[in-house]
Amino acid sequence: MKSFGKVFKQFRQSRGLSLRSISNEELSVSQLSRFENEQSDLTISKFKIALDEINMPMSEFMYAVQDFKRDELQELLYKMDIYVLRNDVVSMRHLLASRPVKPRLRRLFHELNTIIIKIKLEEMTGESVVSEHDLNVLTDYLIGVEYWGYYELLLFMHSMHRFRHTLFMTLSKEMISRSEFYKELPINRRMMNYLVLEAFVLSSERQELIDAQYYRKFIQNNHFEERDIFERMVIQYAEGMFEFFFHDERKGLMEMEKVIQTFRELGSIHLAQSYENRVKAAQKIKESKN
């Protein structure tokens, strides 16, 4: 990780700003100079003021400090997504096996991230990998956090299919209420939208009519912008799944196939395959009940 002061200096100079031009009553030239020369640090509040003065978002600054590389969590999620898309079980097993047994720092978050890897491996292989203890740790953490931020939304997104339906409904409703504080952040808003849509699809797949109707109404009452193309396509797919299980099976199937074909035409082959597999699973459920 690079020096905060050095990175700050690089961005300040690249914008043609002098120390004096960004100093103010709360942040003196001498404080800024000592910070840039690694002679002292700034408090969090003064550091935020300094970033505002050079018009630099915190997320971009931290990305630069990390030498323009993903942080540990983002790197882990990137690998997991690639392995899932490629159905690369060997690499996913290696990713799980390479996790330290007893890390020195951030042990709870290390355990939570490891549980998510187990869940993905279980989904890929059908093997029993996740223990009841793992699910209890994950549940206790999510219920214990008063405000769900980006990390909590990620945890739930990657684990929601693993919970029994009653607990899934409890957590998904907690997700809606506890994420309200951060919903104006674009990345959080998109993730919340995806989670609500997925909850609608999952409730339909599990043939839980009342819960599916709950999420259907929630989606209808919430505004999706025109540029939310992916979300609008998933809404169409979700409506198709709802129609398939609860009303006109043929009509629902046609709606879902339209979305899958659109994904293919856009070159999203793995995404299309993923949704197609869910349609096949839904058809098997229907056939088993006929």
**φ, ψ dihedrals at 60, nearest 5°:** -70, -40
| Token pair belonging to 135 | 């699910």
Which helix (H) or strand (E) segment holds residue 214: the answer is: helix 209-220
253-271 per-position pLDDT tens digit: 999 999 999 999 999 998 8
216-252 per-position pLDDT tens digit: 999 988 877 778 889 999 999 999 999 999 999 999 9
Name 227's Cβ contacts closer than 8 Å, sequence gap at least 6: none
Which helix (H) or strand (E) segment holds residue 191: the answer is: helix 186-205
Closest listed residue to residue 33, CA positions, set 8, 53, 1, 14? 8
What's the pTM?
Answer: 0.77
Among 58-62, 79-83, 144-148, 154-158, the range scoring the smallest mean pLDDT is 58-62
Rounded CA-CA distance 170/128 in Å is 24
Read off the DSSP letter of residue 43. Answer: P
Read off the DSSP letter of residue 162. Answer: G
Rounded CA-CA distance 98/86 in Å is 20
Rounded CA-CA distance 170/149 in Å is 17
pLDDT at site 105? 63
Rounded CA-CA distance 236/258 in Å is 9
> With the C-alpha atoms ordered 180, 181, 185, 187, is the resulting torsion angle positive or negative?
negative
Q: Say whether pLDDT at 1 is over 60.
A: no
pLDDT at site 69? 65
What is the rounded average pLDDT for all residues in the chain? 90
pLDDT at site 70? 64
Q: Say whether pLDDT at 113 is over 60.
A: yes
